[in-house]
Amino acid sequence: MLTTNLNAMNKAGYEVLILKGDGIGPEIIAQAERVMDWLELNRNIRFLRSHALIGGEAIDLEGAPISDATMQKAFAADAILFGAVGGPRWETLPFDQRPERGILRIRKELCLFGNIRLAKTYDALVNASTLKPEIVKGLDLIVLRENVGGMYFGEPRGIMKASDGSLFGLNTHIYTDEQILRVARLAFELARGRRKMVCSVDKANVMESGELWRRRVQELHDAEFSDITLVHMYADNCSMQLVRQPKQFDVILSDNLFGDMLSDQAAMLAGSLGMLPSASVGPIGPYGVRAALYEPIHGSAPDIAGKGIANPLATILSLAMMLRLSFGLTAVATLVERAVESALSSVGTPDIIRADVRRVGTVEMGDAVLSQLENLKK
């Protein structure tokens, strides 16, 4: 099961930690919070919100990309809603002190091992994709990326000096049985709620870690998920197939390195990074609560920060994922998603503007979603 029944815990509400971050983070999070306000007033949902610093803002005010106090809040929350971090101001800092280390620490310490990225093409945005409309119309897939292992976390790592005095960079691509099996199980569980197809991606032809990945995914499938169609595909072929015939996929399961690239590629099939939400989920802990962080997949976009033109829809859709996956509020999540889709029929931010709709900014797009929520509640 992916969802958690927090009502069974007799909680007064859903405890949500909000981390706005840097760049456009505060602007887009503000619009998601407006949707939360609406849901509290109109759907009898109570969000127990707390706010904390992360990224560059945390470095400036607290001396670190994320403080120990904020980490304690993260551990205590039922879910985390995150904006974005980073920007030119902090690019000259040492690697281990940069804003991005804040989100990496959360992923690691909360063991958010599975990154779920949705790639869905809305009818209103079919022509926004760089691919032909007939290739992307109706696209609805998930890239599930292993999030805390592989190349990005493996040891040893670093820039080192060889015996002859020359430098070399070293990263270790390593996966254990446990890391593979838990993310594979998540993929099969996701597929059971969709079209029951999983494509597991690796490079088993040239990497021993990929060979183990393929073996363990197949064994789990055969033992517990034989109702799911499983295919294996090399990462380079999957990249090609995403451009050639993306609608063949339902759930793509991948390691950290390949998933990082494939998920961005899949996102652009939908027309804009500003439209795609994601969830990073961890193991089920005490009281049956699964740790989870929700965020838009785009970055902090410092070039447009403060201009009021950022697209907040990926953040609002990330909130919808939270409602569905963390809180089990499927009908409410669907309502928010329908409001977003309806808003796209009349307005667009600069990244998704087209000739037949009105150009709007961040706040106006939030207005449009709230207006559609009002229409849909009738």
Residue type, 16: V
Token look-up 């994320």 returns 66
Residue type, 370: L
- 88 preceded by cis ω (within 30°)? no
Judged by phi (left if over 0) then psi (alpha if -120 to 50, else beta), residue 375 lies in: alpha
Q: What is the rounded distance in angstroms from the CA atom of residue 177 to the CA atom of residue 160?
A: 29
Is residue 152 among the annotated active site residues?
Answer: yes
C-alpha separations of 299 from 21, 22, 76, 87, 128 in Å:
10, 9, 26, 9, 20
Is residue 367 among the annotated active site residues?
Answer: no
Which of 196, 247, 264, 367 is labelled catalytic?
A: 264
Which of 152, 175, 250, 351 is labelled catalytic?
A: 152
CB 215 within 8 A of CB 200: no
- How large is the angle between the packed helices 208-224 and 177-192, nearest 10 degrees? 50
Residue type, 158: G
Which of 20, 175, 202, 203 is labelled catalytic?
A: 203
Which of 123, 222, 236, 303 is labelled catalytic?
A: 236
Is residue 122 among the annotated active site residues?
Answer: no
What does the CA dihedral 104, 110, 114, 118 come to, rounded to 10 degrees?
Answer: -70
CB 51 within 8 A of CB 111: no
Beta strand pairing call for 347-348 and 358-359? parallel
Residue type, 108: K
Is residue 260 among the annotated active site residues?
Answer: yes
Is residue 78 among the annotated active site residues?
Answer: no
Which of 140, 234, 260, 367 is labelled catalytic?
A: 260
Instruction: Give me the active site residues, please.
Output: 152, 203, 236, 260, 264
